[in-house]
Structure 1
Amino acid sequence: MSELAIFGGEPTVREPARTVWPVVSEADVARVADAARRGEISYDASEGMVAELEGLFETRLDRPYALATSSGTAALHSAFFGIGLAPGDEVLAPTYTYLATVMPIVACNATPVLVDAEPDTGNIDIDDAERHVTSRTRAMVVTHLSGHPVDMERALRFARRHGLKVVEDCSQAHGAATSGAEVGTRGDVAAFSLQGRKLVAAGEGGMLVTSDTTVYERAVMLGHFAARSETEVSTPDLVPFAKLGYGLNYRMHPLGAALAIGQMERLDQYLEWRADNFRAYDQILRDTPGLAPAPRQDHVSRHGGYSYQPLYDPAQWGGLPRSVFIDALRAEGVPATVPTSLPLHREPFFSRAETGITTYPVDPDRRLYRAGDLPRSEEYVRSAWRLPAYPQPLSTRMLTGMAEAFRKIAAGAERLRRHTRAAAA
């Protein structure tokens, strides 16, 4: 076996794979250009490219309502507003997720109650959620993290038992499915991000989907005032306010919608390409002593392919730190990374009484968290690592080089351990 690249040997992966995302076709460019030429650069009601994109989501997810928004965060805010959160309400939320899953709850004058993570996927732990339910609990939000869907059958049984609304954050899981049903089809309302790294990319944008008329109309009232709210709002309690609306502008840019239409049409192809790459990763890791493929629970019908995220156990590598393992991989040309975000309960907003917010109330009696309060999420962050999904199938040459890199590192683990001990001495 040749010398490890981290010690001056030749890297096994010499030609990096193509990583440009999103994939923009000539048809995408033409669609965006045509919309710009005919002046479709803003809109009032659901029309043109925005209406077409909303229709694609409605058809795919078999939902009667889809509402395009300016971002996934706006879609989540609209979802929480749509279910009618009020001051004093509590919403169960994963501690390990992007901030946009949780902070719009605060903007709706409600209180997020953070729940620990599953130790294998990082998704919300439904078992842990049970101990956080109070008489004030009104809803639960679940994030389908890294494309691995939450077990929605379990989540819905839990929610029904406690009378909770369920919001799905599908930002990282377009097309993922659990127990045969795509994410976004089971909760009371779902939100998707169409930001540039997502499998359906508009550059910036989001989508809310629901089957609940009131939730939809409240979301329209929040961010789509005037023409659209006047046209589409029919709930008697809302009609008097439909013309004025509730004052925010969450409309998606039509040119972003034009770009996302092609991405949506190719979503199944993207999922297949990424599934092929993930199967190749699975085989490489199975063949490497001390490693296992990224976890996939039995209920998963299709992974969303956003990120391939195995777990690293230093005990299996004789105590070799994860950081050294990752550095050795990167030296070989394998673009492995580790999570950089803390669980939310470790952030100052959730650990300090003073938040800096004066424009809307923050519950003064809310729980303040400390390190160790939600320990499985902290352990997950310490053990998770990532291989990129890549936009297109990896070449045989690339996969062969990656496999050789893992074999080299496994064979050279003792030298890596000695070097690490010497550096620490």
Structure 2
Amino acid sequence: MNVTEKLALLGGTPVIKSSLEERWPAFCESDVEAAAELVRRGEISYNGREGTVRDLEEHFREYVGTRYALAVNSGTSALHSAFFAIGLQPGDEVLAPTYTFHATVMPVFVCNAVPVLVDAEADTGNIDPTLLESHVTARTKAIVATHLNGYPVDMATILSVARKHGLWVIEDCSQAHGAECDGRRVGGLGDVAAFSMQSRKQVTAGAGGILTTNDDRVHERAVLFGHSLNRSVEAVVSDEYRRFASTGLGLNLRMHPVAAVLADRTLARLDELLKVREANCAHLDAMLSRIDGVHPPVRRPHMTRIAHYSHQPLYRQEELGDLSIGTFVRALAAEGVPVSRPKSPPLHQEPAFQDPEWKLDTYHPGPGNSYRRYRDGQLPNSETYVATALRLPVFSRDVRGELDAVGEAFEKVTQQAGLLRDLERAGCVPVPTA
């Protein structure tokens, strides 16, 4: 195509004329029938480890390569269970990424422990493992690491720091089902891991989560945290905890049978899904790598398989004459590109981590500990990542032909970046119509 054609933002014809959208979750008729059959026979709750929940746990632990998998009602519950299971005490410190979904960190408060936020790698958004050691104190108990967007964190470095200082390692794999770090699947690399199975996730239950671990004590404590009666009596066998099995802590974090069957069926298709997403993303990256101003997501050697939860190239406005990312995204969207920007700031910019008056009745740090407060600019790499990241959907069907038009749209906009920059400086950039 002629990339000098009039930009759609300025009244020209869009490159992409029909909507390019991802339909996910993509349940098939046999998935619907499997869920309906449970309802027909009244199999809509369990007291023990049975039925579709047992099947999911067995298949998931085999897939990840751990001794245990414990299904729960959300990824947040899986994370909360993990923090409880490692025995956090009031005032304990947990090193955590500042750029992550808030559920990675907020349960630390409920355990009366102290999150210590760590800056990101500016080019991946993942926690920067090289910064961890500088945050370790006598109170540090654990490290939690999120494999953001399905791109694995450098776990070798994280585990090295953890072993040196005697720290627990929690993997937040909520966006990384099937991802591999140095040839090993995430979820079995640290001491305990949490997966989300919310509707956008690669393995979806609609709402659900799962905890994985190889540690007997961690598993028993996680069971006692969110399960009771038959399930905990069956699972908790140690002399230390079995007398508490009938009640646990009284919480009910169990996964619904219908959610479990949907998750189990999508787990069976996970490897196929990731192959398709990888082919699409690699095709798009090959085009973007030839375009000034846009850098494909970084792929480091330890990232031996990426799970592609979201595709986030980075914008470099200095390569396009300082055209702002806002105008760049508006011009792409006008061409029909399904592009956006990250919606959430790093946690250190949220009021809960900045407001000196922030208090919750459930949060009582130990003696001599104070709540950590942060300010803008304190963890700058994470802010750089959010300010430069573009969000593109991943696709679960082969759309490489359709993605050619996305590449054309990027090229069209970047080739006319000078015109957009001049209009921007003159205050004349139009607002695209819906």
Q: TM-score, normalised by structure 2?
A: 0.96
Alignment partner, residue 120 of structure 1: 123
Q: Does 2:91 match 1:78?
A: no
User: What is the deviation of 1:287?
Assistant: 2.2
* Residue identity in the other structure for 1:214: R
Query: 1:116–1:129: 8 Å Cα contact kept in structure 2?
Result: no
Q: TM-score, normalised by structure 1?
A: 0.97
1:267 to 238, 253, 270: 270
Alignment partner, residue 373 of structure 1: 378
Q: Deviations over 1:173-222 (max 9, x none)?
A: 00010100011011100000000000000000000000001000000001
1:276-355 aligned within 5 A: 276-355=279-358
Q: Deviations over 1:35-87 (max 9, x none)?
A: 11111100001100011000111111121110000000000000011111111
Q: Distance in 2 between matches of 1:84 and 1:313?
A: 44
Alignment partner, residue 412 of structure 1: 416
User: What is the deviation of 1:395?
Assistant: 4.6
1:171-182 aligned within 5 A: 171-182=174-185
SS at match of 1:129: helix
Q: Distance in 1 between matches of 2:98 and 2:404?
A: 37
Q: Deviations over 1:118-150 (max 9, x none)?
A: 111010111111111000001000000011000
Q: Distance in 2 between matches of 1:32 and 1:18?
A: 26
Identity rate, percent:
50
User: What is the deviation of 1:424?
Assistant: 7.3
Q: Deviations over 1:392-424 (max 9, x none)?
A: 12151x222112211211221111011100107
Alignment partner, residue 31 of structure 1: 34
SS at match of 1:68: strand
SS at match of 1:294: coil
User: What is the deviation of 1:17?
Assistant: 2.7
User: What is the deviation of 1:92?
Assistant: 0.3
* Residue identity in the other structure for 1:33: A
Alignment partner, residue 387 of structure 1: 392
Gaps of 5+ in 2: 430-434
1:132 to 132, 135, 149: 135
Alignment partner, residue 24 of structure 2: 21
2:63 to 56, 60, 65: 60
Alignment partner, residue 229 of structure 1: 232
Query: 2:22–2:394: 8 Å Cα contact kept in structure 1?
Result: no
Alignment partner, residue 107 of structure 2: 104
Q: Distance in 2 between matches of 1:351 and 1:60?
A: 40
Query: 1:146–1:307: 8 Å Cα contact kept in structure 2?
Result: yes
Q: Distance in 2 between matches of 1:164 and 1:24?
A: 40
Q: Distance in 2 between matches of 1:357 and 1:232?
A: 34
Query: 1:75–1:191: 8 Å Cα contact kept in structure 2?
Result: yes
Alignment partner, residue 425 of structure 2: 421
Query: 2:21–2:338: 8 Å Cα contact kept in structure 1?
Result: no
Q: Distance in 2 between matches of 1:339 and 1:291?
A: 16
Q: Distance in 2 between matches of 1:294 and 1:32?
A: 37
* Residue identity in the other structure for 2:419: R
Query: 1:123–1:143: 8 Å Cα contact kept in structure 2?
Result: yes
Query: 1:17–1:394: 8 Å Cα contact kept in structure 2?
Result: no
SS at match of 1:423: coil
Alignment partner, residue 432 of structure 2: none
Query: 1:188–1:210: 8 Å Cα contact kept in structure 2?
Result: yes
**RMSD of the alignment, in Å?**
1.3
Q: Does 2:13 match 1:10?
A: yes
User: What is the deviation of 1:333?
Assistant: 0.3
SS at match of 1:301: strand
Gaps of 5+ in 1: none
Query: 1:345–1:351: 8 Å Cα contact kept in structure 2?
Result: yes
Query: 1:68–1:207: 8 Å Cα contact kept in structure 2?
Result: yes
Alignment partner, residue 184 of structure 1: 187
SS at match of 1:92: strand
* Residue identity in the other structure for 1:135: A
Q: Distance in 1 between matches of 2:164 and 2:374?
A: 27
User: What is the deviation of 1:290?
Assistant: 2.7
User: What is the deviation of 1:354?
Assistant: 2.5
User: What is the deviation of 1:280?
Assistant: 1.2
1:401 to 405, 421, 424: 405
Q: How many residue pairs are counted as aligned between the two chains?
A: 424
Q: Distance in 2 between matches of 1:239 and 1:107?
A: 25
